[in-house]
Chain A
Amino acid sequence: MAEIDSADVRNAESTRRWLSSRQDLWGASANNDTLIETLTRFCQFAGKSPDEMVDDCLRPGKAGETLTLRTRARRQYMDLIELFEGAVRSRPQGNIARSFLIHNGIAMNPGILP
């Protein structure tokens, strides 16, 4: 698959949902560039687009209409973000990836910083 770039990330539905949910909750943010940049790095790290990551974790259930949380996929992303965080050596960057999934409906819980 072609390398994901920040324009793809910015245009993804799940990204827009993330930014709008953040804005609803925390108020307007002057600049989302850092968020997009970090999410792009994480997408490249995971080899997945934003929408693919969300779809991996929340899929239509058997009845079709409602989404169901895939516990194993969620756990895999939690582990992957931890690896990413280690690679970039930054909790804040790891948390940007988590924030993306959380606002898309997938709970992420890193350990508490000592």
Chain B
Amino acid sequence: MEFKSVVGWRRSIRFFDPWREVEREKIQTILEAIYRAPRVLEIDFVRVVVVLRDELSADEMQTLKTPTTTAQLDMAPVYIFFFADLEAIEPACRGDNFRQLINMGVLNPSHGWTEEFAVGTAGQYIRTILDDEDRVPLRLPVGGDSATQIVSREALRLARTAIGIAQEYALLAAVDEGLGAQLSGVNVGAARGILGFPDTWVPSSPMLLGYHGETIEAGGQRPREPFEEDFFELRYGHPFYREPAVVDRLKAAEMIQDPAPFSWRMDEVRGLARKFGLPD
């Protein structure tokens, strides 16, 4: 699909056909897209675990649910979990990846990139982030377990940035593959037990993935606050002027689509409730 229509057709899908599996090659394609996402400061943060719903036990399914997310977990046949491994920062401080990129002509002396700069200045910059004194526990202690890591907020900031980039790549790749997707909260403690991810991995919201159980319009593009609330020019407080002609061009390219709710959305939702045996 054209990039702009992928963006335009993406919306959080909350009804999936639970009986339809996702082909493994489509899952791999999504992972390959994440693989190509830019790395924050060239740190290899990202870790991704693909979980097939039907390989989870009923108990595991139950514990993953939160009061706000239940039906979606039942409907989506695939969950893709995203993490950032804080252990990836240490090799970055040593300049390992920078050195490799210098050798490949990606980073060059024209921009000051030398072996010395990679290890000294750049590596040191990352070390400062890692060692920053403003620190928080990576997770709240559960029960008697107090062994949780205390990490710098600056490191978490980078880690979460890496997660967000991976998540958006995944969402878009799913749309491009003709699939529906949604990021969703789950019980992280339960996920830790089921997936067995290490303590150094920062967890986040997984992406639920499957074939649309609702129309791909899903009631229309979801609302946003005015453009001028979020984007500024030259300084904060001076909104970036939103040129209507550009908006028109993006409408023609299917990136900006008719807004929710379509007149027939509520009928659709009630129909979906009957389709899946859900309350209305």
Contacts and interface: CB of A to CB of B under 8 A. Distances in A.
Q: Do A and B share a direct contact in the complex (Cβ within 8 angstroms)?
A: yes
B67 A102 contact: no
11 contacts: A26-B270, A96-B279, A107-B70, A108-B279, A109-B70, A109-B71, A110-B277, A112-B276, A113-B276, A113-B277, A114-B19
Interface in A1-50: 22, 25-27
A80 B277 CA distance: 17
A3 B19 CA distance: 43
Interface string B254-280: 000000000000100010010011111
A95 B277 contact: yes
A66 interface: no
A27 B280 contact: no
Interface string A98-114: 11001000011111111
Nearest to A27: B266
Contact of A95 (B70, B75, B278): B278
A107 B67 contact: yes
Interface string A63-92: 000000101001000000000000000010
Contact of A98 (B67, B74, B276, B279): B279
B18 interface: yes
Nearest to A106: B67
Contacts of A95: 273, 277-280
A108 to B, nearest CB: 6
A96 B279 CA distance: 7
Contacts of A27: 266
Q: Quick one: which of B68, B276, B278 has the most chain A CB within 10 A?
A: B278
The 7 closest A-B pairs by CB, nearest first: A113-B277, A109-B70, A98-B279, A95-B279, A99-B279, A112-B74, A91-B277
Contacts, number: 43
A25 B277 contact: no
Interface residues of A, number: 21
Interface of A: 22, 25-27, 69, 71, 74, 91, 95-96, 98-99, 102, 107-114
Given A22-B280, A110-B277, 6 more contacts: A74-B67, A91-B277, A99-B280, A102-B279, A109-B71, A112-B18
A112 B277 contact: yes
Nearest to B15: A112
Contacts of B18: 112
B184 to A, nearest CB: 13
Nearest to A107: B67
Nearest to B17: A112
Interface string B1-23: 00000000000000000110000
Contacts of A111: 74, 277
B266 A25 contact: yes
Contacts of B279: 95-96, 98-99, 102, 108, 110
Contacts of B19: 114
Q: Quick one: which of B67, B277, B279 has the most chain A CB within 10 A?
A: B279
A21 to B, nearest CB: 11
B75 A112 contact: yes
Contacts of A25: 266
A112 B71 contact: yes
Nearest to B61: A111
Interface in B41-76: 65, 67-68, 70-71, 74-75
A40 B280 CA distance: 18
